[in-house]
Amino acid sequence: MQQEMILLVTLFGMLCVAIPFILIARSTDSSVTPTSMFDDSSRWKLFWILMILGVAVTVATLWVWPHRVVAGPSSQTVNVTGHQWSWEFEPKTVKAGSPVIFNVHAGDVNHGMGVYDADKRLLFQVQAMPGYVNRVEHTFDQPGTYQILCMEFCGIGHHVMTADLTVTAADQNQEASQ
Ligand code: CUA
C-alpha cells in the first residue's frame, strides 16, 4: 500500500514537471533556426527517450522498495515491544541464513529499534511506536550475539535500553536445500 502510494506520488510529480515543459516547448516558434547541435525533431526524440527512461527507472526501482515485507515459508518472526526502558521480545534466538521478520511496536512512547552486529555496525533500524506495528525484515548472515539499542531519545533511561539477540547457525537441512 505504502509502496503503491510512493509510486503514484512520484509519477504525479514527474507529470507536474513534464507538462509545463511540453506546453512551453509546443508554444515556441519552430521557424527560428536552432543554434544548438540538435534540430527540433531530434530534440523531441531525446525528450521522449528521457521521459520513457525516467518512468522506467522510477517504476523499476520503486517496485523493489525494501520495506515491502512478505513472510515466506522459511521466515522467522520476532515480536518486539519497546518500553521505558527495556526491550521485550520473543523469541530471543533466531537462525542465521533465513529471513527474520520483526513486528515492532511500543508500549508507551516512541522508541527506535536499532540492531548492531558484534563490531557495533548498525544493520538496520525501525521505529517502535505506540498504536502501530512496524515490520522490518533482515537475514542474519553470521551466527553470534547482536545488540538491540534504542535510537530515539525516550527519557532518562534511554541509554540503558539495550538487549541481546542471539543468532544461531543455520539448520543443516535448510542449508542443503538452498
Ligand atoms: Cu527507548 Cu530511547
Could you read off the pLDDT of 156-175 as tens digits, one per residue? 999 999 999 999 998 755 44
Distance 106 CA to ligand 1 centre (A): 10
Whether residues 14 and 102 fall in one domain: no
Whether residues 91 and 167 fall in one domain: yes
Whether residues 96 and 156 fall in one domain: yes
Q: Is 80 helix (H, G, I), strand (E, B) or coil?
A: strand
Domain membership of residue 33 (yes or no) is no
Distance 157 CA to ligand 1 centre (A): 7
Whether residues 164 and 89 fall in one domain: yes
C-beta separation of 132 from 96 below 8 A: no
Domain membership of residue 129 (yes or no) is yes
Distance 70 CA to ligand 1 centre (A): 27
Whether residues 141 and 90 fall in one domain: yes
Specify the ligand 1 atom closest to the Cα of 155: 2
* pTM for the model: 0.61
Domain membership of residue 134 (yes or no) is yes
Range of the domain at 15: 2-27+39-63
C-beta separation of 73 from 50 below 8 A: no
Cell of residue 39, nine digits: 534540430
Whether residues 23 and 85 fall in one domain: no
Domain membership of residue 59 (yes or no) is yes
Entry field: residues in the chain? 178
Specify the ligand 1 atom closest to the Cα of 161: 1
With a 6 A CB cut-off, is 161 part of the ligand 1 pocket?
yes
Could you read off the pLDDT of 91-130 as tens digits, one per residue? 999 999 999 999 999 999 999 999 999 999 999 999 999 9
Helix (H) or strand (E) holding 143: none
Give mean pLDDT, residues 140-167.
96
Whether residues 45 and 100 fall in one domain: no
What percentage of the chain carries pLDDT values higher than 70? 86
Distance 156 CA to ligand 1 centre (A): 9
Specify the ligand 1 atom closest to the Cα of 151: 2
Whether residues 87 and 160 fall in one domain: yes
Domain membership of residue 68 (yes or no) is no
Distance separating alpha carbons of residues 46 and 50, to the nearest angstrom: 6
Domain membership of residue 70 (yes or no) is no
Specify the ligand 1 atom closest to the Cα of 128: 1
Distance separating alpha carbons of residues 89 and 81, to the nearest angstrom: 6
With a 6 A CB cut-off, is 158 part of the ligand 1 pocket?
yes
Number of folded domains in the chain?
2
CA 139 to centroid of chain Cα atoms:
14
Distance separating alpha carbons of residues 142 and 58, to the nearest angstrom: 33
Distance 135 CA to ligand 1 centre (A): 18
Domain membership of residue 69 (yes or no) is no
Whether residues 48 and 114 fall in one domain: no
Answer whether residue 177 shows pLDDT above 70: no
Give mean pLDDT, residues 53-82.
83
Distance separating alpha carbons of residues 131 and 153, to the nearest angstrom: 18
Domain membership of residue 128 (yes or no) is yes
The C-alpha R_g of the chain, in whole angstroms, comes to: 25
The domain that holds 162 is classified in CATH as 2.60.40.420
Whether residues 87 and 171 fall in one domain: yes
